[in-house]
Every structure is written in structure tokens, then in C-alpha cells.
């Protein structure tokens, strides 16, 4: 019995040491909580129709669980806010614009000498609220808009040891667009129009990060991109139909994170 107890104790110690070693490996995906902040430049463009642009401030967070086998799972979120400039039917400044995103991801680490590859995939949801109520410089009325995207992220993080505990961690990701729903409160601008929800079925996105990591700290530049095609047509009043036109969204900025 004593020999069995010693064997069990040694096994437990070995597992604990292995887990601790993995947690300390700067090239491995590590369990823990991360929080951070980001600054960004934002451009939303409906070619020939309207454009929104401006600076944003955001907050990010990630909860990660990594197993001894190299498998890992993540839940991450982002919230970003800006007061943007509208250019279209006249101009308007100080337009409130909020983005919230949440994603569930799973992947695996493949480690080598001085480098690791971490492919992943998952499911993401992006929500945007934009408030153009009021009047532009030409007197045109605006309205509130709610945007919802469902998409599947497919990406790869590469970690490269640079020495002195520094790691370069570029990430590239393709966002496979699944479905979009756009609710436009057209009655805000014209009481003769009805509010409308349009469905978007075609689009694509991608994102990239170039992070530097050292211990619990990570920082670097990033960018997000979306191209969404014309939505379906829906009635917005007697004899009238409306759609969400083809649009492009570009965001780029800097991010810093700290791991607990």
C-alpha cells in the first residue's frame, strides 16, 4: 500500500511539473485571463453613398484553458467606441458608434525548436450600434442602425523565440461570413418610411496581429477588415423597397494586453 501511495504521489508530482513547464513555455498557448486596451482608426465605406470614419478606444479580454496535450480553448471579447464623422448626404460629426464582439475558439499547439504553430477555428458574433439621428449639414435626417454578423474564424498564430524571453507572435485569420442582419430605424429620418431588417448572406473578412510577448505582457499592431455585399430587398413604405448596400469596414491600431 505504501509503495502504491508513493507511486501515485510521484505520478501526481510528474503531472504537476509537466503542467508547470507548459505554463512557463513562452511558445505555448497558456491558460489564464488576459485584459487589455486598444486604440484604432476606423473607416466604414459604402462606395458612392456614405462614409463614416474616426478614432476609437476599446477594451479586450480573453479566458484561455490549455491542456497538456496541446489542445486549447478560448473565449474572447472586444468592446470599442468612437464618435465618428459622417460624409454622405452632407456631413455630421460626433456620431456615436459602438462595436461589441464575442468569440469561442479552439485549437492545438505544434511546437518545434524555437517556433510553434497554433491553428484554431471557432464561432464569432459581432454587434454594431450606430446613431445618426439628427440632421446633416444639408438638412438631411439620419437614423439609428443595428448591425449583427455571425461568422467562423479560421486562423493561425505563429510564435517565434527571439531570446531574452521575447517572443514574436504574428496571427493571420480568415473570417468566414455566415449571416448578417441589419436593422435600420428609417422612421427616425422620415415618418412615412417603416423600420426595416435586411438579411446579408455574402461577404468575407480577415484580421491580422503582430504581437510582441514577454512574460505576462503583450503588445503590437493589428487590423480588421470586412467586405459585405448587397443585402436582400425589403419593403420600407408604399411602393418602396430598401436594402443595405455593399460596404467595406477597415480598422487598424495598437493593442496592449496583460495576463493574470
- State the fold for domain 2-259: Lipocalin (2.40.128)
3-state SS, residue 87: strand
CB 129 within 8 A of CB 98: yes
The number of residues making up the chain comes to 260
Asked which of 20-29, 47-56, 74-83, 94-103 is least confident by mean pLDDT, the reply is 20-29
Has residue 14 got a pLDDT over 50?
A: no
Question: pTM of the full predicted structure?
Answer: 0.88
How far CA 251 is from CA of 68, 184, 224, in Å, comes to 36, 23, 5
Q: Report the half-sphere exposure of 60 (CA within 13 A, side-chain side).
A: 19
Q: Is the dihedral of CA 68, 63, 155, 167 positive or negative?
A: negative
CB 78 within 8 A of CB 101: yes
Q: What is the mean pLDDT of residues 162-170?
A: 93
pLDDT of residue 246: 97
Has residue 9 got a pLDDT over 90?
A: no
66: CB partners within 8 A, 6+ apart: 22, 23, 28, 29, 30, 31, 72, 109
Domain ranges of the chain: 2-259
Q: CA 82 to CA 85: how far, in whole Å?
A: 10
pLDDT of residue 24: 65
Cα 224 from chain centre: 7
In percent, the amount of the chain with pLDDT more than 70 equals: 91
3-state SS, residue 101: strand
DSSP for 116-152, please give it: EEEEEEEEEEEEEEEE--SB-TTS-B--EEEEEEEEE
Asked which of 25-29, 141-145, 250-254 is least confident by mean pLDDT, the reply is 25-29
The residue whose grid cell reads 496541446 is: 70
The CA angle 122-123-124, to the nearest 5 degrees, is 125
Q: CA 251 to CA 45: how far, in whole Å?
A: 12
Has residue 162 got a pLDDT over 50?
A: yes
Q: CA 184 to CA 49: how far, in whole Å?
A: 16
Taking only the tens place, the pLDDT of each residue in 208-234 is 999 999 999 999 999 999 999 999 999
Taking only the tens place, the pLDDT of each residue in 51-86 is 999 999 999 999 999 998 999 999 999 999 999 999
Amino acid at each position: 500500500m505504501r509503495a502504491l501511495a508513493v507511486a501515485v504521489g510521484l505520478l501526481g508530482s510528474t503531472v504537476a511539473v509537466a503542467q508547470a513547464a507548459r505554463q512557463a513555455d513562452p511558445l505555448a498557448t497558456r491558460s489564464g485571463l488576459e485584459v487589455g486596451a486598444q486604440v484604432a482608426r476606423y473607416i466604414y465605406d459604402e462606395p458612392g453613398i456614405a462614409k463614416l470614419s474616426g478614432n476609437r478606444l476599446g477594451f479586450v479580454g480573453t479566458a484561455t484553458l490549455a491542456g497538456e496535450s496541446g489542445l486549447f480553448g478560448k473565449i474572447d471579447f472586444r468592446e470599442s467606441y468612437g464618435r465618428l464623422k459622417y460624409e454622405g448626404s452632407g456631413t455630421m460629426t460626433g456620431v456615436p458608434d459602438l462595436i461589441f464582439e464575442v468569440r469561442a475558439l479552439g485549437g492545438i499547439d505544434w511546437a518545434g525548436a524555437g517556433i510553434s504553430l497554433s491553428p484554431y477555428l471557432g464561432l464569432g458574433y459581432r454587434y454594431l450600434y450606430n446613431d445618426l439621428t439628427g440632421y446633416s449639414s444639408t438638412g438631411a435626417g439620419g437614423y439609428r442602425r443595428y448591425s449583427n454578423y455571425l461568422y467562423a474564424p479560421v486562423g493561425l498564430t505563429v510564435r517565434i523565440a527571439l531570446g531574452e524571453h521575447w517572443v514574436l507572435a504574428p496571427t493571420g485569420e480568415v473570417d468566414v461570413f455566415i449571416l448578417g442582419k441589419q436593422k435600420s430605424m428609417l422612421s427616425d429620418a422620415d415618418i412615412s418610411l417603416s423600420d426595416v431588417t435586411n438579411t446579408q448572406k455574402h461577404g468575407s473578412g480577415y484580421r491580422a496581429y503582430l504581437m510582441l510577448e514577454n512574460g505576462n505582457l503583450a503588445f503590437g499592431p493589428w487590423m480588421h477588415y470586412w467586405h459585405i455585399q448587397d443585402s436582400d430587398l425589403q419593403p420600407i413604405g408604399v411602393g418602396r423597397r430598401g436594402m443595405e448596400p455593399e460596404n467595406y469596414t477597415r480598422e487598424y491600431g495598437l493593442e496592449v494586453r496583460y495576463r493574470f
